[in-house]
Chain A
Amino acid sequence: MPDAHFYRYDDYDRRLVAERVEQFRDQVRRRLAGELTEDQFKPLRLTNGLYLQLHAYMLRIAIPYGTLSSRQLRKLAEISRTYDRGYGHFTTRQNLQLNWIKLEQAPDAIAALAEVDMHSIQTSGNCVRNTTADHFAGAAADEIEDPRVWCEIVRQWSTLHPEFSFLPRKFKIAITGSPNDRAAVRVHDIGLRFWRNGEGEAGFEVIVGGGLGRTPMIGKTLREFLPKDELLAYLEATLRVYNRHGRRDNLFKARIKILVHEIGAEKMREEVEAEYESMKDSALKLAPETIEAIARQFAPPPLQSKRTRVPEVEALKLEDRNFALWLKSNVAPHRAPGHAIVTASLKPAGAPPGDASAAQMEGVADIADAYSFSEIRVSHEQNLVLPHVAIEDLPAVYRALGRLGFAEANIGKITDIIACPGLDYCALANARSIPVAQRISNHFAALARQHDIGDLKIKISGCINACGHHHVGHIGILGVDKNGAELYQISLGGDVDFGHTALGTILGPAVPAERVVEAVDTLVATYLEVRTDGERFVDTYRRIGIQPFKDRVYATV
């Protein structure tokens, strides 16, 4: 029986989480009683997702594959109200961070999470971390297969795998189920992209050695097409090669991206293929029953056939210009006719990107119950997604989101900014991120103008750790500290779209905080003057290069 190493999620994980909560409660008690020093306690709290930031503890809650039920989201709201200051921050890692947790209450907060099968346990250490997926998984019109099924297969394989608990460094995998990458697969240790080959078979493109942080790299394709049932064998071969050759002598050089960079993609491919040859027919080949059993856990909701053309929607489009814009930017095609995917924007003008109050979380949970089969997704762009909305319900959903302040028609636009917590919260920061995002989004708040400017992704990090993904922003903004002053380094042309993945190029000397909006405005003005029909900001940049932008910005700033 080849697939005996797969288990039922519930029993095993529930027990594990319950044990961990009680263990942590005891550890916290001993720390508060002075029986444990901070040095002894710190690794224990980090394992439980509890960080000490500038002015409070922060709890990082995992949202596997970015998928939440309304019941879970309500619980998150309750936890943020009971144990925090009534709001939370959805992150680029598809996590929720609570910023004001008290140590003495942290075990209760974690126990409350366990009531809805959630946890904050970071599979920390140098193992295979939580695998991330496309946030439109299971709904997108362009999807070939639900990537969460494969995330779960990878999770179960790697959790129980003794050989890979002590890798040279942590290891992150991302999977997209459609040819249009929404999971940034080229900037992960391993990225997997589903596609169909000439024979119509579905399989993966395997991409290795990407990553951001202080040494950003774009992943290289090791295998154009891997039949899907061979996934685990191929991953295992890749990890073995990494385990054998990855550098353990230098923390900053230990990621697989450095190995691939140093030995080259060609040599890496040879090594992996040789390893793979020796094991591809092993027990790791996935039986169809296993794949089906796991797929059942991600079964789509019972969607009924719905009208595809709805007069009320057409009428409202003519009546309410913002609704028409919202349909364009915040509503994406669903694979079931008569349905759509709605993105709730957590970026109303002037708000901290990705923050939601407890009341807003409850509001979204209510909308999901009424209109989206109680399902919610968290996107790595720090928004919430209602994956299964009937087109005829779009006006109602738009109004309900509007009451929460989440109906801004700005998805993918210049105010849909990704920003890390920065110096307002983070102990590692050089400069603030959130206030910069707020100033930019206030400046560009007018929706008609945003839609005229078109798709433009701004990403902001407060330090080189790149939690805000600034390397892959069309406009990337990185906070640096120069003799105590906040300066911002601007880069252009980063991209995570498939086929165009690129790291940004630095525009020039960093600009002072109070000049950032002006600089962005100048970049946009330059683009608007020279763009040709249908060209997005990043397309224009690719066509004309950095110089025209540079000349303009440094002439005025």
Chain B
Amino acid sequence: MAKNLRGDLQVASANRLVDGMVVFLDAAAQWTDRLDRADVARDEKAAERLLERARAESATVVDPFLVAVTEDGAGRIEPLSLREKIRAAGLTFAAIAAESVRYA
């Protein structure tokens, strides 16, 4: 994932082992499903340390990696790539739900 190290801001992400859900590493070294809780690395050195911490905490997740993000004036972070936006926010369309279709 060397190429992600080039972005200025990074968060660490992975998929949770038990159910595959997307998670991010927070400042207390816990995995959370909330991107807004993710610990943000603000330079290359910090990013390397963040990735090391993520790997050290990887017993309950699969393959941690760094995700380049941007931050707006209000401190909200968002991934740069579409792939990571979709990972963080979920499907970009409404899935068919079991209960949405009832038949007589």
- Give A contacts to B, CB under 8 Å: 31-32, 34, 38, 52-57, 80-81, 85-87, 101-104, 351-352, 355-360, 363, 400, 403-405, 423-425, 429, 432, 434-435, 438, 484, 486
Shortest CB-to-CB span from B7 to chain A, Å, is 12
Question: Is the beta-carbon distance between B62 and A52 smaller than 8 angstroms?
Answer: yes
A434 touches B93 (CB 8 A): yes
- Consensus secondary structure, chain B interface: loop
Min CB–CB distance A315 → chain B (angstroms): 23
Closest 7 CB pairs of A and B: A86-B98, A102-B19, A56-B20, A358-B98, A57-B20, A403-B103, A363-B103
B102 & A438 in contact (Cβ 8 Å cutoff)? no
- B interface list, Cβ under 8 A from A: 15, 17-22, 59, 62-63, 80-83, 86-87, 90-93, 95-104
- Number of cross-chain contacts by CB at 8 Å: 99
Distance to closest chain B CB from A429 (angstroms): 8
Q: Are A484 and B81 in contact (CB under 8 A)?
A: yes
Q: Which of B96, B98, B103 contacts A352 (CB 8 A)?
A: B96
Contact B86 A359 (CB under 8 A): no
Q: Which residues of A contact B83 (CB under 8 A)?
A: 54, 423, 429
Closest to A81 in B: B98
Whether B96 lies near A355 (C-beta < 8 A) is yes
Residue among A53, A80, A424, A434 making CB contact with B20, cutoff 8 Å:
A53
Which chain B residue shows the least CB distance to A31?
B17
Q: Is the CB of B93 within 8 A of A86?
A: no
The 27 sampled A-B contact pairs (Cβ below 8 Å) are A38-B62, A52-B15, A52-B62, A54-B86, A55-B22, A56-B20, A56-B21, A86-B97, A87-B95, A87-B96, A87-B98, A102-B19, A103-B18, A352-B93, A352-B96, A355-B95, A357-B96, A357-B98, A359-B98, A360-B96, A360-B101, A363-B103, A403-B104, A404-B101, A423-B86, A435-B92, A484-B81
Q: Are B101 and A38 in contact (CB under 8 A)?
A: no
Instruction: Report the minimal beta-carbon distance from B57 to chain A, rounded to whole angstroms.
Output: 13
Q: Given contacts A85-B95, A359-B102, A484-B81, are A55 and B63 in contact (CB under 8 A)?
A: no
B95 & A352 in contact (Cβ 8 Å cutoff): yes
Contact of A55 among B18, B20, B93, B98 (CB under 8 A): B20
The complex places the Cα of A363 from the Cα of B101 at a distance, in Å, of: 10
Of all chain A residues, which has the CB nearest B59?
Answer: A34
Chain A residues, CB < 8 A from B87? 54-55
CA distance A405 to B96 in the complex (A): 12
Sample of 5 further A-B pairs with CB below 8 A, known A34-B59, A352-B95, A357-B98: A57-B20, A355-B95, A432-B86, A434-B93, A435-B93
* Chain A residues in 8 Å Cβ range of B17: 31-32, 103
